[in-house]
Amino acid sequence: MKFVTKLFILIIFIFPSKLWSLEVLDLKTKDGISFWFIEDNSVPIISMSISFKGGSYFDKKGKEGTSSFVAALLDEGSEDMNAMEFQEKVKSLGMKLNISTSKDEFNITFQTVSKNKEESFSLLRQAITKPAFSLDSIEKVRNQINANLRINESNIQQLSSEVFDENFYIGHNFSKSELGTTDSVSKINRDDLVNYTKKYFTKSNMVIGISGNIKKEELKKLVDSTLSRLEEGNEKDFYIPKFSKLNKGTYTKRIETPQTSVIFGHHGLMRNDNDYFAIRVANYILGGGGFQSKLYKKIREERGLVYSIYSYLIPFLNDGIILGGFQTKNDSVQETIDLVKKQWKESKYKGVTQEELSAAKSYFIGSFSRNYTSTLSIASLLQVVQKYNLGIDYFTKRKEIIENLSVEYINEVSQNFFDEKKLFFAIVGNPDK
Amino acid sequence: MRIRFLVLFFLIFLQSFHVVPKIFDSKEFFLDNGLRVVLIENNRAPVVTQMIWYNVGSVDESYGKSGLAHFLEHLMFKGTKNFPDNYFSKFISSNGGSENAFTSFDYTAYYQTIPSEKIEQIIELEADRMQNLTLTKEQVSTERKVILEERYQRIDSRPPSILDESLRKSLFPNHTYGTPIIGWEHEIKSLKFDDIFNFYKKYYVPHNATVVLSGAISLEKAKKLTKKYYGQIKSNMKSIDRLSLSDPKILTNSRITYNNPDIKQKIWKRIYKVSSYKESIKEGIALDIGLKILAGGSTSILYDEFVKKRKIVSAIGGYYQGMTRDKGTVYFYAIPNKDIEILELEKLIDEKMFDALNNKITKEKFEIQKNNYEYEAIYLRDSSFQPAQIIGEALTIGMSLDEIENWNENLKNLTIKDVKTALEKFLNNKNYVTGILG
């Protein structure tokens, strides 16, 4: 065993105004855990973002909802403390622990005030490495998930999202509900939960970003004491296949309500695809850019058909999609869908203009510094850039990638990417026939 | 030499008495036209947030004109003579900024976050739209459709919101707090162009507004730029006449039920009318802490009793909203498990609240909540937007900057007895309405 602590690269990236600079450190602990870190002493807080590959994709057949179940139970005590003791301790230390799961990953964000770092990291260790999973807590959470499932049945926004997943991803586990069903949740037992944490909370499967008021040497020790007892794991266990078939057309679920909720989308790109930024910019112009996008202007501002309409790219670890949504009164559903298709077609065939591209470029270049206004958003950014393997030089390269995008290039890749004939619309409400 | 000694002495003196530091270290100044400006300087990133808070909300709408304040908020993005169409929004986004606006009962606010080298332009643009808004009839009629869609999305297609709307109307039978911020559907449909424009002319004036700048900008620059742009706006400085309404005591038992075939989970709710922070900060804090011990999250007394021990609800909670111009509110909710009758549950909750007051408010729980106030003050500073939000809201409903900065001073001599007194008063308060979903 070598006791060498390696300090890899040290990158300084500079904001456009050249007044601010932050150091991103790529660190490795004595026990071999890698993480990225930015020291920031503006407030006495430490923020950490941890991502494990996993998520609902790996929930076993018939036991859908296992990963959500685990997420709800991690702060319910440990082998050393019951749930009440644990949660009171969390509060008395001024610590914040947020645990969530998605289709392809399991996320933990942890924050604490720096004077309580030792004890807080120790609680984090207990939550990740030896959660109690007491039978009482399990039954409590089962009740809560079931209540949520019932509440969702009268929430058209939630329903449209579920209906989309269920019918869009054909023959792929992403079609399964992240929360599970009443039936699947009733079958999940303690062993399933324990096995989940053993299998997915492993070192090789973990990505960490940290920012805040602490020195790197001390932090490395705390990271070791928190996470080094996790097993190494095997990255191959976390393979998720690409989408072999995605649905198109429409699917309608009828429910009595004055307004209909629609979610739509088609195939997308992975984050490390060479064309990712070009399509990201094209989508910003189509449906991503707040009050400036074409969907917003044509459908909300000019016609008053919706309050909100958007589209965005979702890069999963295995593949990607582009997703959009809106709600409109029942008698304007078809009109709005037709307008979405029309804009989609224009993105494909007409593309973007030089003026639109320049505005979009300066948006993406200028918006990056907003990530640096809190330790938590810095930590999350560090985690995300590692997770997608964008490289530590991404922080300096990013501006150049954006500046190099030309109208011709964007319009060429847009022509292959956008396809209104491949869009799938999940419709929940009572639309006029 | 002597002077220096004196100054030093004075500094030590000051420090020893200011054990609790100011939360945001903000600074405040007024322009000649009455506009208040607050600066929260913070140089961690080259970013500035500008918020403008108008002291006007849905409470100021006249009878039959509900939704006016919110309608105007939407129209404020339609452009001015000098900067037509959506020049402002285009400027924000093409510089990587973000923006939005929101309307509440008591206030209407607009904000932008942008790289700090663009601060001058957004101050100019915000000052411009305070005085030069231009509107066409077509813009108003299209935006009316958008607002109706917003109402259907936020309220009419969401059963819990439909219930809340009715609950508030019963809790505030006379005060305009009982009218929904977004407005009643039929009144949104009938608001006139002139109603909106007159509302704008009356309330969007410098002495009825507060500008908060948070982020990488100095006091000197903030003074110079706000004076240059906002300082040009004329103001008669006359106080604005407003409705001053209150409610009769609630003597009846109100229980409101909403059901439809798609509602599969019953929810029990109750809203209380209580004192606001404006009436007494210390009493407000005592009530807030008391409610956190009683019903704030998974370590609370009610959660422990009903979710963990008796297992008759899957969730229960309550919280205080006291940052209001007039009365504050307390919201309570419980999500029953299938095998309990909702009226029986209500009886148990009422009993347990009194039992908790007499037997369960311990010193340990009190200390945890008190410490959390200090911790929250630290977390609040880890952002450029949040401090602007908190200060802007509090000033607009009528608190002073000193009161906000020294908020946690109130904790120093707050006792567990204060908390119990506040809770007791709360529990004996009959000004509430109960709602049942499903």
A217-272 per-position pLDDT tens digit: 999 999 999 999 999 998 777 899 999 999 999 999 999 999 999 999 999 999 99
Mean pLDDT by 10 residues, chain B (438 residues): 39 43 92 98 94 98 97 97 95 95 97 96 98 96 98 96 97 97 98 96 98 97 98 94 92 94 95 97 97 96 96 97 97 93 95 94 95 94 94 97 95 96 96 96
Query: Could you say which of A144, A302, A364 has the minimum Cβ distance to residue B314?
Result: A144
Considering the domain architecture, whether residues A176 and A259 belong to the same structural domain is answered as no
Partners of residue A91 in chain B, C-beta under 8 Å: 299, 368, 372
Distance from CA of A140 to the nearest CA of B (A): 7
Q: What pLDDT does A234 receive?
A: 83
Q: What pLDDT does A21 receive?
A: 60
Q: How far is Cα A288 from Cα A100, in angstroms, rounded to an integer?
A: 25
Q: How far is Cα A271 from Cα B14, in angstroms, rounded to an integer?
A: 55
For chain A, how many structural domains are there in total? 2
H-only helix segments in A23-108: 66-73, 83-92
Contact status, residue A430 vs residue A260, Cβ threshold 8 Å: yes
Considering the domain architecture, whether residues A33 and A96 belong to the same structural domain is answered as yes
Q: How far is Cα B163 from Cα B87, in angstroms, rounded to an integer?
A: 40
Partners of residue A290 in chain B, C-beta under 8 Å: 89, 93, 98-99
Question: Cβ A289–B159 below 8 Å, yes or no?
Answer: no
Q: What pLDDT does B339 receive?
A: 79
Considering the domain architecture, whether residues A45 and A156 belong to the same structural domain is answered as yes
Report the b/e string of A377-399 with b at 16+ CB within 10 A. bbbbbbbbbbbbebebebbeebb
Question: Cβ B94–A258 below 8 Å, yes or no?
Answer: no
Do the domain assignments include residue A2?
Answer: no
Phi and psi angles of residue A275, each rounded to the nearest 5 degrees, phi first: -90, 0
Q: What pLDDT does A14 receive?
A: 43
Distances (CA, A) of A31 to A36, A108, A210, B153: 15, 21, 17, 52
Query: Could you say which of B117, B153, B314 has the minimum Cβ distance to residue A17?
Result: B117
| Helix, strand, coil in percent for chain B, rounding step 5 | 50, 20, 35
Which among A238, A257, A273 is the end of a domain? Answer: A238
Distance from CA of A171 to the nearest CA of B (A): 29
Considering the domain architecture, whether residues A146 and A184 belong to the same structural domain is answered as yes
Report the b/e string of B347-378 with b at 16+ CB within 10 A. ebbeebbeebbeebbeeebbebbbebbebebb
Q: What pLDDT does A20 receive?
A: 53
The catalytic position among B73, B99, B165, B405 is: B73
Considering the domain architecture, whether residues A74 and A108 belong to the same structural domain is answered as yes
How does DSSP assign B24-93, residue by residue? S--EEEE-TTS-EEEEEE--SSSEEEEEEEES--GGGPPTT-TTHHHHHHHHTTS-BSSS-TTHHHHHHH
Partners of residue A301 in chain B, C-beta under 8 Å: 142
CA-nearest residue to A429 within chain B is B157
H-only helix segments in A310-368: 333-349, 354-367
Chain A and chain B share a number of CB contacts under 8 A equal to 193
Considering the domain architecture, whether residues A294 and A203 belong to the same structural domain is answered as no
Which pair of structure tokens corresponds to residue A17? 């105004």
Q: Tell me the residue range of the domain where A168 lies.
A: 7-238
Which pair of structure tokens corresponds to residue B45? 């990133």
Q: How far is Cα A426 from Cα A250, in angstroms, rounded to an integer?
A: 6
Distance from CA of A399 to the nearest CA of B (A): 13
Handedness of CA A7, A11, A12, A14 (dihedral sign): negative
Phi and psi angles of residue A410, each rounded to the nearest 5 degrees, phi first: -60, -45
Q: How far is Cα A140 from Cα A72, in angstroms, rounded to an integer?
A: 10
Considering the domain architecture, whether residues A200 and A289 belong to the same structural domain is answered as no
Considering the domain architecture, whether residues A313 and A208 belong to the same structural domain is answered as no
Question: Cβ B144–A304 below 8 Å, yes or no?
Answer: yes
Do the domain assignments include residue A405?
Answer: yes
Q: What pLDDT does B9 receive?
A: 41
Question: Cβ B97–A367 below 8 Å, yes or no?
Answer: yes
Partners of residue A94 in chain B, C-beta under 8 Å: 371-372, 374-375, 378-379
Phi and psi angles of residue B289, each rounded to the nearest 5 degrees, phi first: -65, -45
Question: Cβ A88–B261 below 8 Å, yes or no?
Answer: no
Distance from CA of B324 to the nearest CA of A (A): 27
Distance from CA of A246 to the nearest CA of B (A): 29
Question: Cβ B152–A362 below 8 Å, yes or no?
Answer: no
Q: From the candidates B70, B77, B89, B146, which should be mutated to test the interface with A, based on the most A CB atoms within 10 A?
A: B146
Do the domain assignments include residue A1?
Answer: no
Q: How far is Cα A383 from Cα A35, in angstroms, rounded to an integer?
A: 8
Query: Could you say which of A44, A291, A372 has the minimum Cβ distance to residue B77?
Result: A291
Q: What pLDDT does A237 receive?
A: 79
Q: From the candidates B71, B152, B306, B362, which should be mutated to test the interface with A, based on the most A CB atoms within 10 A?
A: B152
**Is B279 an active-site residue?**
no
Q: How far is Cα A167 from Cα A148, in angstroms, rounded to an integer?
A: 21
ipTM score: 0.93
Considering the domain architecture, whether residues A182 and A138 belong to the same structural domain is answered as yes
Partners of residue B385 in chain A, C-beta under 8 Å: 373
Whole-structure pTM value? 0.94
Q: What pLDDT does A414 receive?
A: 98
Which among A238, A268, A301 is the end of a domain? Answer: A238
Q: What pLDDT does A265 receive?
A: 98
Q: What pLDDT does A290 receive?
A: 77
Do the domain assignments include residue A60?
Answer: yes
Q: Could you tell me the domains of chain B?
A: 23-232 (3.30.830.10), 254-437 (3.30.830.10)
The CATH number assigned to the domain holding A214 equals 3.30.830.10
Q: What pLDDT does A425 receive?
A: 98
Q: Helices B68-75 and B193-203 sit at what angle, rounded to 10 degrees?
A: 80
Per-residue pLDDT tens digits of chain A, which is 433 residues long: 333 333 333 344 444 444 456 789 999 999 999 999 999 999 999 999 999 999 999 999 999 999 999 999 999 999 999 999 999 999 999 999 999 999 999 999 999 999 999 999 999 999 999 999 999 999 999 999 999 999 999 999 999 999 999 999 999 999 999 999 999 999 999 999 999 999 999 999 999 999 999 999 999 999 999 999 999 998 777 899 999 999 999 999 999 999 999 999 999 999 999 999 999 999 999 999 778 999 999 999 999 999 999 999 999 999 999 999 999 999 999 999 999 999 999 999 999 999 999 999 999 999 999 999 999 999 999 999 999 999 999 988 999 999 999 999 999 999 999 999 999 999 999 998 7
Q: What pLDDT does B1 receive?
A: 34
Considering the domain architecture, whether residues A314 and A269 belong to the same structural domain is answered as yes
Give which of B254, B399, B242, B418 is closest to B328, Cα–Cα: B399
């805040």: which residue's tokens? A212
Q: How far is Cα B323 from Cα A197, in angstroms, rounded to an integer?
A: 43
CA-nearest residue to A297 within chain B is B86
Considering the domain architecture, whether residues A351 and A272 belong to the same structural domain is answered as yes
Which among A238, A270, A293 is the end of a domain? Answer: A238
Query: Could you say which of B117, B146, B378 has the minimum Cβ distance to residue A307?
Result: B146
Q: What pLDDT does B335 receive?
A: 97
Classify residue B420 by its DSSP letter. Answer: H
Considering the domain architecture, whether residues A375 and A419 belong to the same structural domain is answered as yes
């973002």: which residue's tokens? A49
